[in-house]
Structure 1
Amino acid sequence: MVLFSLVATHADIDLETVAQLSNGASGIATSALSGSPAVTGAVVLATCNRYEIYGEAPHADDVEAARAALVSEISGLSGLNEQLVSRSFSTRTGPEVSQHLFAVSAGLDSAVVGEREIAGQVRRALITAQHEGTASSGLVRLFQAASKTAKDVGAQTALGSRGLSIVSVALDLATDLSESPDWSAKKVVVFGTGAYAGATMALLRERGCTDISVFSSSGRAEAFVATRGGTSLDSDSLPLAVAAADVMIGCSGSDTRVEAGELAEIRADSPQPLIAIDLALTHDFDPEVGQLDGVELLTLESVRLAAPQEQAESLTQASGIVSGAAQAFEQEREARSVDSAIVALRRHTMNVLDAEMERVRARHGCTAAAEEVEFALRRMVKQLLHVPTVRARELAANGQQDDYVSALETLYGITVEQPATAAQAECPVDHRGLETA
């Protein structure tokens, strides 16, 4: 089995294209698995500034076919032409897959370097794939190793110790733009009830904000505020809350968004200025709201430009941990890849031995002589298998495991069966109620 990934991030393309690519992200893994034999597993990582698909294919020769199948599915779900979709994604294979995902999970590839929110998003991506039955065993191990690496970086380095995140940087920007830095006197409306909305609520509380209202187009606001505090809004109460708000924060990425004309009408009689923070990749607020009198619009691009730089020493240390973890993962994966071949060789050899012993027993019965013959043969077989087993591990460590498998098939006619691709696991979280940032 071969791991690969398709990567579209803020570092390579504009966020608007990332948002368009992400349309229909929740169904891409299932549709790809059912539509192409070249895709045997898939996990989708879609966040506010990246859209990445991690996949597994039967062989290296199948990666291109798997990529084509995914590009076609994404094109169909997003409405973008296949050429644009194909250009938007870079393809990684081999060690590049783990190196990149581990760096992402550790916050090294984020718009706010060192942010910790991405580690949770990586974990949830795997849980969702397991719940949907699209996570192959190889992908499960990859994502579990990525989560462990993120924990190691957090525990062993100062990276992210300042508690920076996309949300915290956005709130810092809003503070700088406000006439008063006192959040306890501000009225805030939050759009969304997903992970980003939860993080936003927590940070607003830390800054002393108590007047927080929450709106969800899916109707989940009441349940959301029941555990976090705040006031739930519906379509009828939303306009009045927005009219009185000092800050509104978009975290939902739903199909419903606040249009500039609508906001101008709602705020027509509002004397205080409004800061609109749009953290949704697909925009909760019409970009034109930033042109309205009395409205300041902050976007993900604003956050990216304002994000402070981490210390070089912390980055170097974190990068070393990531590289070491990726190398260890690849070595373990290569060693594991020959396990099936070793098992097949042992099974073949032991079947030959058992057949020979049947003939010995048929001729001599269960005598002491027959037992001595069996003992001698088993000891000889064990010695004969020792060198091929050690050699298999050595070849795997050098990335030559395919040569070993081919040799077995050529010399002995042994067909090496791959382990089961699906690592089904009961998902402990119900994701049907999650809204993404």
Structure 2
Amino acid sequence: MVLLSLVASHSDIDLETVAKISADASQVASVVLASASPVAGAITLATCNRYEIYCEVPRSEDVPAARSSVITQIAASTGLSEETVSGALISKTESDVVSHLFSVGAGLDSAVIGEREIAGQVRRALNEAQASGTATGSLVRLFQTASRTAKEVGSRTALGSRGLSVVSVALDLATDLSADPAWENKNIVIFGTGAYAGATMSLLRERKAHNISVFSASGRAEAFVSTRGGTAVDEESLEGALAAADVLIGCSGSDHRLMREDIAALDRGDRALIAIDLALTNDFDPSLGQLPGVDLVNLESVRMAAPDEQAQALHQAREIVQGATRAFALEQRERAADAAIVALRRHTQSVLEAEVEKVRAQHGCTAAAEEVEFAMRRMMRQLLHVPTVRARELAAEGRAGDYIDALETLYGLEIELPAAPASKGVCPVAAAGEPAAAEPAAEPLRQVG
């Protein structure tokens, strides 16, 4: 089996293009698996600044067809041309796939280096793929190892102690822009009620903010504030909340966009306004910041303002990721060797048992028959010793495929790698400390990454 990933992220292209690629592409994995594509399994990782799909295909020669089928489905779901989608997606295979995902999960590829929210999103991506039945055993192991690597980076480096995220950096920017840095004195309106809004609410509480209103275009604000606090506002009361607001925070990604003229029409007097737009598809009109007294903070602002990590901590984190990548690759090669060894032993065992039966049929349960059987089994163990040792050696060198090809050619064996079953029907469970599950499609939020 071969690992393949297609990646569109803030590191390589602008956020607007990432948003276009991400639009309505959440079901691509299921659709691709239901088609005639060679893709055996797929997991989608979609956040506020990346769209990535991880696939498993049978052979390296299947990679071009697999990539083409994924691009075709993304183009169909987003309305973009296949040429546009293909140009935006960078393909990675095998160890590059592993290294990239481990770096992403550890926060090393984020707008805010070392942020911890992406680790939870990697876990949720796996949970969702298992629930929908698109995750193969190899992909499950890949994502589980990515989560363990992220924990190791968090516990062994200074990156884990900073507690930074896109939300926290955005709130820091707003503090710097405000004439009054005290959040307890600010009137705040949050747009959205998904996981991102929940994380925002938690950070606002840490900063002692308490005048918080929540608006949801889909009417879920009441349920949201019932468990998290704050005041729910609807279409009728939204105008009053906006007129009194000091800070607006957009994290819904819905079609209900706050336009420049909506704010310009309000009687706000001389009250300054900070609008923090953290939705990939923009909750706020990008020209909002052109109004007098209005400052606009968006994802690009956060990326530009995110502090650089200490070189030593970043170097240490990358060493952990590289070590985990090598260990995962070795484990995969050893699994291939194990499968080949098992197949060879089964083959030789069947030949041995056939010969033993002939001896028993000819000589019965005599001492001579037992001696012959014992000698044959000892000889078989000796004959298998060198092929077993060579399998381990070739696996360590990354040449397990050569060993498998040789067995298939010499003995006509069909060797398949063992794979853990994709846990279909399992309900995703958020790990302790993660934000609540994202809200349904009416306010689709691709979260921080």
Note whether the superposition's TM-score is higher than 0.5. yes
Q: What is the Cα deviation at residue 384 of structure 1?
A: 1.4
Aligned residue type for 2:216: S
For residue 129 of structure 1, what is the amino acid of its counterpart? A
How far residue 422 of structure 1 moved from its aligned partner, in angstroms, is 4.5
Code of the residue aligned with 2:296 in structure 1: it is L
Whether 1:336 aligns to 2:342 is no
Q: 1:143 — aligned with what?
A: 143
Looking at structure 1, the residues matched to 185 and 84 of structure 2 have their Cα atoms a distance apart, in angstroms, of 47
Q: Where does residue 210 of structure 2 map in the other structure?
A: 210
How far, CA to CA, are the matches of 1:423 and 1:390 in structure 2?
A: 32
The answer (yes or no) to whether the contact 2:153–2:159 under 8 Å persists in 1 is yes
- Residue identity opposite 1:93 in structure 2: T
Q: For the Cα contact (< 8 Å) 2:107–2:114, is it kept in 1?
A: yes
Report which stretch shifted further, 156-165 or 141-150: 156-165
2:16 maps to 1:16 = yes
Distance in 2 (alpha carbons) for counterparts of 1:242 and 1:88: 37
Give yes or no for contact 1:190–1:214 (8 Å, CA) kept in 2: yes
> Aligned pair 1:433/2:432, yes or no?
no
Letter in 1 for 2:224: F
Q: Provide the rounded CA distance (Å) in 2 between the counterparts of 1:428 and 1:12.
A: 30
With over 3 angstroms needed to count, the CA separation of the structure-2 counterparts of 1:310 and 1:360, relative to structure 1, is same
Amino acid at match of 2:115: E
Name the counterpart of 2:130.
130
Contact in 2 for aligned 1:25/1:44 (Cα 8 Å): no
Larger mean CA deviation between 309-318 and 224-233 belongs to 224-233
Corresponding residue of 1:25: 25
Q: 1:297 is aligned with what amino acid?
A: L
Counterpart of 1:279? 278
Letter in 1 for 2:26: S
1:291 aligns with 2:297: no
- Match of 2:404? 405
| Cα contact 1:259–1:285 (8 A) shared by 2 | yes
Give the whole-Å Cα distance in 1 for the aligned partners of 2:283 and 2:186.
21
Q: Distance in 1 between matches of 2:75 and 2:83?
A: 9
Aligned mates of 1:247, 1:270 — CA distance in 2: 15
The equivalent residue for 1:92 is 92
Give the TM-score taking structure 1 as reference length. Answer: 0.96
2:69 is the counterpart of 1:63: no
Structure 1 residues 323 and 432, CA gap change in structure 2 (3 angstroms):
closer
Say whether the 8 Å CA contact 1:188–1:211 is kept in structure 2: yes
CA deviation after TM superposition for structure 1 residue 240, in Å: 2.1
Contact 1:243 1:270 in 2 (8 A): no
**1:160 shift after superposition:** 4.0
Aligned-partner residue type, residue 290 of structure 2: Q
Question: Is the 2:138–2:419 contact (alpha carbons within 8 Å) kept by the matching residues of 1?
Answer: no
How has the CA–CA distance of structure 1 residues 54 and 302 changed in structure 2, closer, same or farther, with 3 Å as cutoff? same
Matches within 5 A, 1:173-322: 173-265=173-265, 267-322=266-321
Other structure's SS at 1:416 match: coil
Where structure 2 has 5 or more consecutive residues not aligned to the other structure, the ranges are 431-436
The answer (yes or no) to whether the contact 1:40–1:421 under 8 Å persists in 2 is no
Compared CA separation, residues 378 and 256, structure 1 to 2 (3 A): farther
- CA–CA distance in structure 2, aligned partners of residues 379 and 238 of structure 1: 83
Separation of aligned partners in 2, 1:164 and 1:131 = 30
1:294, CA displacement in angstroms?
A: 2.6
Q: In 2, Cα distance between the equivalents of 1:132 and 1:146? A: 20
d(CA) in 1 for partners of 2:355, 2:438: 59
Q: Distance in 2 between matches of 1:46 and 1:79?
A: 18
Q: Distance in 1 between matches of 2:359 and 2:263?
A: 91
Following superposition, the deviation at residue 33 of structure 1 comes to: 1.0
Alpha-carbon displacement from aligned partner over 1:19-38 (angstroms, at most 9, x marks no partner): 00001232011011112431
- Residue-by-residue CA offset, 1:61-86 (whole Å, 9 max, x unaligned): 11111111111111111111111111
Q: Higher relative contact order by CA 8 Å / sep ≥ 6: 1 or 2?
A: 2
| Aligned-residue offset at 1:118 | 0.9
Aligned length: 436
TM value normalised by structure 2: 0.93
Structure 1: gaps spanning 5 or more residues = none
Provide the rounded CA distance (Å) in 1 between the counterparts of 2:172 and 2:232. Answer: 25
What RMSD, in angstroms, separates the aligned Cα atoms of the two structures?
A: 1.7
3-state SS in 2 of match to 1:11: coil
Structure 1 residues 335 and 239 mapped into 2: Cα distance closer, same or farther (>3 Å)? same
Q: Distance in 2 between matches of 1:155 and 1:367?
A: 65
- Which residue in the other structure is 1:345 paired with? 344
